[in-house]
């Protein structure tokens, strides 16, 4: 069993293991069904059933049924459900080889089953947004610019938000445009993720659908798009990724999929966004292009369900009609205007529209415009929407913002959506505005969500809008959960192995980070359990716990470390900018990333880590360069300051441990190292003066040598003189007084004494190095003299001195191993020691000398001992090369030599193959059975090796053969054995073969391999040459460190220093190093300022780069081009509009002239003939428009909604202009509705009784009692109990009733069974106890409102009237105290809520609350 690999240029390669197919197939066959006709009845044609399928497509029992004879075909009875027979993959063929998934499903398939098919079986990630694209099903024309903007915007919003696009799925109309958008995106950005475009189409209208049928599934099914031969049917669009083909058992009927598609969309929008803990569901938006009456119904139903719609103006037909009236007042949207627009945009189709249909569409368009919070128009001519994607997302946010659940929850929902979509641009313009007031604590959940979803731009935005990281990480659990929820990083896997079953704590994280940083650091986080520490020096006990330590930590450091261990560059960049110790943080990140790269098994991931490590090394270099250019002294303090945030280690140590050569090689660090190298001497002293003073030290008292303290005192004197001269001019003594108050300043330094100068001279690392160099020369000279001249059986005085000298060198090496001022530990220190090549030579030198000395003291092995000592002399000479590493000229060359030795070592393996191959073959041909090992090695290896250097053998050629130069039987140990000879004592070997072998060997060894070695050396030289200076500067630190900590006396006098150190450190146990502490707060503040300068300069350089300039120029050109095209289209549209108006005015003028002529012909100038009506709304007078507006404002709205609540009935459409009874409406034919026990009861026999009751506000579209309890007014009452809550500000509060089942708030009250029975309604809602308490106060309440209520249950003959009563409590009264205690004891059933527009009441009760707020002069 292999794997099925689906390749496509458009979509990413999808690999489906063949082992998974049986499970997918079995799941689909068990859960997905289709519909088939089980009763054949002749239709229009003889061989065609009424279901649309041919007779041959029916099963046998359907053609000759036994129990259904004589019945007529019924879709609900004669279509049955069977297992689906069409599913799998579709291969559309062509050059792109596009492949999609499909399934044939029944119309009544559960939406949950379809959602599982999409997510679990087809492995689609749940969407963050659902985009339902609807509109014209036939091909229509889109302007080039609108088409381009639609394609670009749709794919951008789908790509950035992770949305699903749902369309009709066929290759026509709006579905074709969506497919083209998906195709264009895939061709232009092949490396990005796949856009999910789901086509929900009707199975019975698909052309060539037989190719998709296979009961076992098609993997793939070859589908041919035959556009020309499809007829009334439709082909599937080859750019969609998934298809759901809806089957109702019929053929040729369009629109079968509408109900299932709506059900699926509702199911998806009920799912939680991201995860089950999310507070919001998956949002949906409807995008409309073109479209007819069916599209209008879709828009209307979508907006009734709360789905926002984005309509593209200019796309055609119904989209243009809505766009034309969307900006008009409602009273201007009349039946006549809709008639005019329908005729204009639908053309010939308009002739098929009846007047009643126009009335219904007018009503729907008015309701659509009334729901303005759900309607968004995309107009190209406007600048408010730069693209369709912004319009779509803004429509969703606008719908969310104006929903009934207002307040902070609304803003949080919008912010969660924006984070899920990763659209920080919308968050900046739509959410973080002056209208929304955010606290840091209100945004902690958003910060957590942005971190979990890896939204760096949102993290930065949240920080800019007031999120405090200190408060965010106040609880240690937050940081622990962040580490716990990242399973992909190395640290998380290590923690999982370490912790196993227990929970991850910051102690575990600290241990792993210390492993990555190095054992020389201290723990970054304290133990998770509480610990008590007692300080004997201060006699104070300190109690530390999680909370107390959390306040001392740097939250920027914590999150920066968290981002670094994930190799997340963008998040790490943000938090690095917030670190208080930025240089140390960057160097620590470099160290951690390089350590992780060594442990990472994925080569690409390891390379990314190394690149990020280099990035932070550059950051450290940039910030430190700014620091050094600003203040050299502070920059040096920064290098050696122990950072508490990073394990109390220094920047310099971190750079060395991370092998950050570029950082160490920069001028500021090198200047600091030079200062250390010179010690107490000035760095400006020439070397020759230092060498002279080393011998003639009295010269240091004459000023011949400059000391650093003298320079500091001189600079301070010059500075003081300048200050005094300024004070003399200005008369100010402020600076003098401030300097006098600071006794620790540089002016308090005193000149060095005589002894101090001597100490500073000979303790300088530079002077120590020169003395040690002289000591090495002297040691080599003494060693050479002993080996060549003074080597006797009894050691001479010079030889004894040599041994003492060697003992001092051994003691120094031991001191270097055990000397540990940085706290590395013996293991780490020993590893560091042995990793140094010069230390390896030291150890080898000492070992060889020890062996040689042992042999030399044994009389039998005297000569062998001398040989060992001679070899040891060579090793010490090589070790002496370390002296030259201090030279800027010779130091880099030594590095190159070391690298070339490595190359040559590996090259020798390749050369040895040729040497051995030729040597063994030659030896075997020339010599027969030589058993002398030394001569075998000489002939097989030594002689071929010498041939490379020009020492050609004489025994392979007859002419050069000499019998006297060899031994016949190999008995002469000083001569090689003779080659095989003939009887006449001449060589018997084939001369031609040996000469050819030699020529070939020379060709490859001398020419090929040696030139290869030269090429390798040249490559190594060229590669290292550019970096030798950097490498030398990095390695220079080791030399400086060695001599900085080395005793002043050179060998052999260094033994006295060793003795002193042994007594002080071992016998007396005194500390040798006291770390200098600096003023951290001031230093870190200055460092932060330098970091800001560095970031600013980096940003400026980036903006001024050539790439940035080219990008800006390109954007400006694109903007200018778009603006020109927009102006061109606008001008052309304006001309067309003016021509249309001119044509209309001409027609009106012609009609007016005709009316004048008819009047004159009648000869009766007093004839009262009406002026011909016109369609233009502009002819109406302002008074008429205002009067119409006032009348429509008094009309009811909810009472005219087309869908009557809790029933399947629809009202007769009543446009706003036809609501008043005074307006004639001859087409008005409402249904009479009175609910009965068995369901909806429609009766028209009660018209006489109904005429006695008429709705005072006008028509509603339905007659009868409806859902109300009686004809005429149905009275209700509401009680608003208010009080004042005192505080920094006084707030007006009202008493609300909490409904646990519906999870809603409401006002006390309800429907009145009889006039004035408010108390009975109150008892039902607030309970008997509260009712008894309020009973006496009801009569004292203030009647705020009494009258008609616009209720969705109202009919022409029954309506709701409400009475609103307000009782205000005196804050300090006993009655108020009793009410408050009852509310507190209600267990949440009664709640005090603020009177504001953000309250969670229904819209009607919110209007009531607004009236109460107005009564109390409160802002609502």
Whether residue 285 contacts residue 395, with contact meaning beta carbons closer than 8 Å, is answered with yes
Residue count of the chain: 1420
Lowest-pLDDT choice from 381-395, 639-653, 1138-1152, 1284-1298: 381-395
The string of pLDDT tens digits covering residues 263-286 is: 999 999 988 887 666 778 888 999
pLDDT at 321: 92
Residues 553-559, mean pLDDT to the nearest whole number: 86
Digit-coded pLDDT (tens) for 1196-1217: 888 998 889 888 888 999 998 8
Given a cut of 60, whether residue 328 has pLDDT beyond it is yes
Comparing 16-20, 496-500, 1399-1403, the range with the smallest average pLDDT is 16-20
Residues 6+ apart with CB under 8 A from 278: 272, 416
What would the two tokens of residue 339 be?
């008639």
Tokens of 1096: 């600013």
What's phi and psi for 220, nearest 5 deg?
A: -105, 175
Q: How far apart are CA 509 and CA 492, in angstroms?
A: 9
Omega of the bond leading into 1143 within 30 degrees of 0 (cis): no
What pLDDT is stored for residue 1071 in this prediction? Answer: 52
Q: How far is 1164 from 251, CA to CA, in rounded Å?
A: 67
Identify the band that residue 1244 occupies on the pLDDT scale cut at 50, 70 and 90: very low
What is the Cα–Cα distance from 848 to 877, expressed in whole angstroms?
13
Among residues 713, 717, 711, 710, the alpha carbon closest in space to that of 756 is found at: 710
Structure-token pair, residue 585: 């943080």
The residue-averaged pLDDT of 832-856 equals 83
**CA-based nearest residue to 437, from 465, 415, 418:** 465
Confidence of residue 1146 (pLDDT cuts 50, 70, 90): confident
Q: Within 13 Å of residue 983, how many CA atoms lie on the same side as its CB?
A: 0
User: How many angstroms separate the Cα of 28 from the Cα of each of 220, 1043, 1073?
Assistant: 16, 78, 76
The predicted-structure confidence for 62-75, as pLDDT tens digits, reads as follows 665 545 455 677 77
* Secondary structure (DSSP) of 489-522: SHHHHHHHHHHTTSPP-HHHHHHHHHHHH-TTSP
CA distance 263 to 646: 57
Higher-scoring residue by pLDDT: 47, 925: 925
What integer pLDDT is reported at residue 733 of this predicted model? 54
Cα distances (Å, whole numbers) of residue 1117 to 1103, 1122, 1167: 18, 9, 66
3-state secondary structure of 1205: coil
CA 291 to chain centre: 38
Give the H/E segment covering residue 218.
strand 218-222
Give 1006's DSSP letter: I
Q: Band of the pLDDT at 192, cuts 50, 70, 90?
A: low
The answer for 62, left when phi > 0, alpha when psi is -120 to 50, beta otherwise, is alpha
**Residue 997: exposure state from Cβ atoms within 10 A (0-12, 13-18, ≥19):** middle
Max CA distance (Å), the chain: 162
CA angle (551, 552, 558) in 5-degree steps? 90
Residue 541, φ and ψ in degrees, nearest 5: -100, 130
pLDDT at 1250 over 60: yes
Q: How many CB atoms lie within 10 A of CB 391?
A: 24
d(CA 256, CA 1059): 101
Across 1155-1188, b (16+ Cβ under 10 Å) vs e yields: eeeeeeeeeeeeeeeeeeebeeeeeeeeeeeeeb
1255 Cβ partners below 8 Å, 6+ apart?
1196, 1199, 1354, 1355, 1356, 1357, 1358, 1359
Q: Bigger pLDDT: 121 or 1119?
A: 121
When pLDDT is cut at 50, 70 and 90, the band that residue 8 belongs to is very low
- Residue in 336, 128, 286, 89 with CA at minimum distance from that of residue 1175: 336
Please, what is the average pLDDT of the chain? 80
DSSP for 1309-1355, written as a single string: EEE-SSTT-HHHHHHHHH-HHHHHHHGGGGGGSEEEEEEEE--TT--
Give the span between the Cα atoms of 423 and 416, in whole angstroms: 11
Higher per-residue pLDDT: 1150 or 830 = 1150
Q: Which of 415, 452, 409 is nearest to 430 (CA)?
A: 415
Do 1198 and 1350 touch, CB atoms closer than 8 A?
Answer: yes
Arithmetic mean of pLDDT, 1157-1184: 51
Q: How many CB atoms lie within 10 A of CB 243?
A: 27
- In terms of C-beta density within 10 A (0-12 exposed, 13-18 middle, 19 or more buried), how is residue 247 classed? buried
> Which residues on neighbouring strands pair with residue 196, listed in sequence order?
164
Rounded to an integer, what distance in angstroms lies between the CA atom of residue 28 and that of residue 30? 5
What distance in Å separates the CA atoms of residue 126 and residue 162, rounded to the nearest whole number?
A: 8
412-464, pLDDT tens digit by residue? Answer: 778 888 888 888 888 888 888 766 677 888 888 888 888 888 889 999 999 88
Q: List all residues 6 or more positions away from 216 whose beta carbon is below 8 Å from its beta carbon.
A: 25
Q: Kindly state the tokens that stand for 559.
A: 């999150």
> For the chain, how far is it from start to end, CA to CA, in angstroms?
70
Helix (H, G, I), strand (E, B) or coil at 1358: strand
Q: How far apart are CA 614 and CA 612, in angstroms?
A: 5
Rounded CA-CA distance 945/1010 in Å is 12
Average pLDDT over residues 678-685: 85
Report residue 542's pLDDT band, with 50, 70 and 90 as the boundaries. Answer: very low
Between 1002 and 55, the more confident residue is 1002
309 pLDDT higher than 70 = yes
Q: What is the pLDDT of residue 386?
A: 61
H or E element in which residue 103 lies: strand 99-106
- Across 111-115, 325-329, 348-352, 1312-1316, the highest mean pLDDT is recorded for 111-115
1038 class by beta-carbon count within 10 Å (0-12 exposed, 13-18 middle, 19+ buried): middle
pLDDT given at position 621: 92
């Amino acid at each position: 069993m292999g794997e099925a690999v689906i390749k496509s240029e458009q979509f990413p390669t999808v690999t489906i293991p063949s082992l998974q197919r049986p499970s997918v197939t079995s799941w689909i066959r068990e859960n997905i069904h289709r519909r088939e006709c089980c009763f054949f009845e002749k239709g229009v044609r003889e061989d065609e059933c009424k279901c649309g399928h041919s007779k041959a497509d029916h099963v046998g029992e359907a053609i000759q049924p036994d129990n259904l004879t004589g019945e007529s075909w019924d879709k609900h009875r004669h279509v049955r459900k069977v297992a689906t027979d069409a599913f799998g993959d579709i291969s559309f063929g062509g050059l792109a080889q596009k492949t999609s998934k499909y399934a044939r499903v029944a119309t009544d398939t559960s939406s949950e089953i379809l959602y599982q098919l999409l997510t679990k079986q087809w492995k689609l990630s749940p969407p963050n947004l659902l985009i339902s694209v609807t509109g014209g099903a036939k091909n229509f024309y889109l302007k080039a610019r609108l088409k381009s903007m639609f394609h670009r915007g749709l794919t951008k919003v789908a790509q950035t938000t992770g949305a699903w696009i749902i369309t009709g799925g066929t290759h026509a109309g709006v579905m074709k445009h969506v497919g083209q958008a998906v195709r264009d995106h895939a061709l232009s950005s092949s490396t990005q993720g796949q856009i999910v475009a789901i086509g929900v189409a009707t199975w019975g209208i698909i052309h060539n659908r037989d190719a998709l049928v296979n009961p076992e599934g098609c993997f793939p099914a070859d589908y041919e798009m035959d556009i020309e031969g499809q007829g009334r049917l439709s082909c599937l669009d080859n750019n969609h990724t998934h298809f759901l083909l809806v089957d109702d058992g019929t053929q040729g009927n369009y629109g079968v999929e509408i109900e299932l598609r709506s059900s699926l969309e509702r199911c998806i929008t009920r799912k939680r966004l991201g995860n089950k803990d999310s507070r919001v569901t998956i949002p949906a938006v409807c995008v409309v292009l073109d479209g007819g009456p069916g599209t209008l119904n879709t828009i209307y139903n979508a907006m009734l369900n709360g789905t926002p719609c984005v309509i593209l103006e200019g796309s055609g037909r119904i989209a243009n009609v809505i766009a034309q009236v969307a900006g008009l007042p409602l009273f201007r949207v009349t039946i006549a205007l809709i008639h005019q627009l329908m005729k204009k945009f639908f053309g010939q189709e308009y002739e098929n529209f009846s007047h009643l249909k126009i009335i219904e569409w007018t009503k729907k368009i008015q309701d659509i415009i009334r729901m303005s919070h759900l309607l968004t128009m995309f107009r190209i001519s406007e600048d408010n929407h730069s693209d369709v994607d912004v319009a779509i997302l803004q429509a969703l946010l606008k719908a969310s913002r104006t929903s009934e659940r207002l307040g902070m929850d609304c803003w949080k929902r919008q912010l969660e959506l924006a984070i899920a979509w990763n659209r920080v641009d919308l968050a900046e313009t739509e959410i973080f505005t002056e209208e929304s007031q955010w606290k840091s604590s209100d945004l902690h959940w958003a910060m957590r969500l942005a971190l979990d979803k890896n939204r760096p731009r949102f993290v930065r935005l949240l920080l800019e809008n007031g999120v405090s990281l200190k408060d965010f990480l106040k609880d240690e659990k937050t940081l622990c959960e962040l580490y716990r929820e990242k399973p992909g990083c190395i640290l998380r896997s290590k923690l999982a192995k370490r912790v196993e079953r227990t929970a991850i704590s910051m102690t575990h994280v600290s241990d792993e980070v210390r492993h990555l940083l190095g054992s020389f650091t201290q723990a970054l986080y304290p133990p998770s359990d509480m610990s008590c520490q007692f300080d004997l020096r201060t006699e104070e006990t300190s109690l530390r716990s999680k909370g107390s330590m959390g306040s001392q930590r740097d939250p920027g450091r914590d999150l920066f470390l968290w981002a670094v261990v994930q190799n997340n560059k963008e998040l790490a960049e943000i938090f690095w900018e917030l670190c208080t110790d930025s240089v140390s943080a960057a160097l620590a990140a470099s160290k951690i990333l390089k350590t992780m790269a060594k442990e990472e098994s994925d080569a690409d991931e390891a390379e990314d880590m190394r690149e990020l490590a280099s990035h932070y090394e550059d950051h450290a270099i940039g910030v430190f360069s700014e620091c050094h250019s600003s203040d050299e002294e502070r920059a040096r303090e920064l290098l050696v300051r122990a950072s508490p945030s990073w394990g109390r280690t220094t920047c310099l140590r971190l750079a060395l441990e991370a092998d950050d050569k570029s950082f160490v090689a920069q001028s500021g660090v090198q200047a600091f190292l030079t200062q250390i190298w010179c010690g107490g001497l000035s760095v400006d002293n020439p070397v020759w003066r230092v060498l002279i003073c080393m011998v003639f030290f009295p010269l240091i008292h004459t000023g011949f040598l400059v000391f650093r303290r003298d320079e500091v005192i001189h600079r301070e004197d010059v500075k003081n003189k300048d200050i005094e001269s300024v004070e003399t001019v200005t008369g100010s003594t402020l600076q003098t007084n401030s300097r006098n108050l600071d006794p620790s300043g540089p002016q308090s330094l005193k000149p060095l004494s005589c002894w101090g100068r001597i100490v500073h001279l000979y303790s300088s690392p530079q002077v120590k190095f020169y003395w040690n160099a002289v000591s090495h020369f002297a040691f080599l000279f003494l060693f050479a003299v002993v080996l060549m001249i003074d080597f006797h059986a009894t050691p001479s005085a010079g030889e004894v001195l040599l041994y003492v000298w060697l003992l001092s060198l051994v003691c120094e090496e031991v001191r270097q191993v055990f000397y540990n001022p940085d706290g590395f530990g013996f293991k780490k220190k020993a590893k560091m020691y042995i990793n140094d090549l010069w230390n390896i030579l030291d150890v080898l030198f000492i070992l060889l000398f020890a062996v040689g000395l042992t042999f030399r003291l044994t009389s039998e092995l005297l000569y062998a001992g001398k040989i060992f000592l001679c070899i040891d002399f060579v090793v010490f000479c090589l070790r002496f090369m370390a002296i030259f590493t201090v030279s800027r000229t010779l130091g880099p060359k030594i590095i190159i030599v070391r690298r070339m030795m490595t190359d040559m070592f590996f090259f020798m393996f390749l050369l040895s193959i040729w040497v051995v191959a030729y040597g063994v073959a030659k030896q075997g041909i020339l010599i027969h059975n030589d058993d002398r090992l030394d001569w075998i090695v000489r002939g097989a290896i030594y002689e071929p090796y010498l041939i490379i250097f020009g020492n050609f053998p004489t025994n392979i050629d007859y002419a050069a053969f000499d019998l006297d130069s060899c031994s016949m039987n190999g008995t002469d140990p000083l001569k090689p054995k003779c080659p095989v000879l003939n009887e006449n004592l001449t060589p018997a070997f084939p001369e031609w073969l040996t000469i050819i072998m030699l020529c070939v060997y020379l060709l490859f060894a001398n020419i090929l391999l040696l030139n290869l070695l030269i090429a390798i050396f040249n490559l190594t030289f060229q590669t290292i040459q550019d970096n030798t200076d950097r490498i030398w500067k990095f390695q220079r630190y080791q030399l400086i460190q060695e001599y900085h900590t080395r005793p002043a006396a050179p060998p052999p006098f260094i033994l006295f220093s060793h003795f002193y150190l042994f007594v002080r450190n071992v016998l007396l146990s005194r500390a040798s190093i006291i770390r200098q502490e600096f003023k951290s707060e001031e230093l870190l503040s200055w460092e932060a300022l330098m970091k800001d300068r560095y970031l600013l300069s980096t940003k400026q350089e980036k903006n001024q780069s050539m790439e940035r300039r080219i990008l800006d120029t390109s954007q400006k050109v694109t903007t200018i081009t778009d603006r020109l095209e927009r102006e061109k289209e606008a001008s052309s549209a304006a001309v067309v509009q003016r021509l249309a108006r001119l044509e209309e005015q001409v027609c009106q003028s012609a009609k007016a002239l005709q009316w004048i002529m008819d009047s004159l012909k009648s000869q009766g100038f007093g004839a009262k003939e009406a002026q011909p009506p016109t369609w233009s709304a502009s002819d109406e007078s302002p008074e008429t428009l205002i009067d119409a507006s006032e009348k429509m404002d008094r009309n009811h709205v909810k009472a005219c909604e087309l869908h009557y609540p809790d029933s399947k009935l629809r009202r007769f459409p009543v446009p706003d202009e036809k609501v008043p009874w005074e307006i004639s409406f001859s087409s008005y034919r409402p249904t009479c509705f009175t609910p009965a026990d068995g369901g909806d009861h429609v009766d028209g026999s009660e018209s006489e009784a109904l005429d006695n009751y008429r709705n005072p506000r006008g028509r509603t579209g339905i007659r009868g009692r409806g859902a109300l309890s009686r004809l005429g007014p149905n009275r209700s009452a509401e009680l608003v109990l208010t009080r004042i809550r005192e505080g920094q500000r006084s707030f007006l509060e009202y008493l609300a009733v909490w409904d646990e089942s519906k999870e809603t708030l409401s006002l006390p009250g309800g429907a009145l069974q009889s006039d004035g029975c408010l108390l009975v309604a109150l008892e039902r809602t607030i309970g008997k106890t509260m009712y008894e308490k309020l009973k006496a106060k009801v009569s004292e309440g203030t009647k705020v409102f009494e009258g008609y209520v616009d209720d969705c249950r109202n009919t022409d003959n029954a309506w709701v009237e409400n009475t609103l009563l307000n009782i205000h409590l005196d804050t300090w009264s006993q009655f108020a105290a009793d009410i408050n205690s009852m509310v507190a004891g209600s267990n949440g059933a009664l709640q005090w809520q603020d009177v504001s527009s953000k309250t969670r009441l229904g819209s009607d009760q919110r209007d009531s609350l607004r009236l109460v707020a107005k009564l109390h002069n409160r802002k609502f």
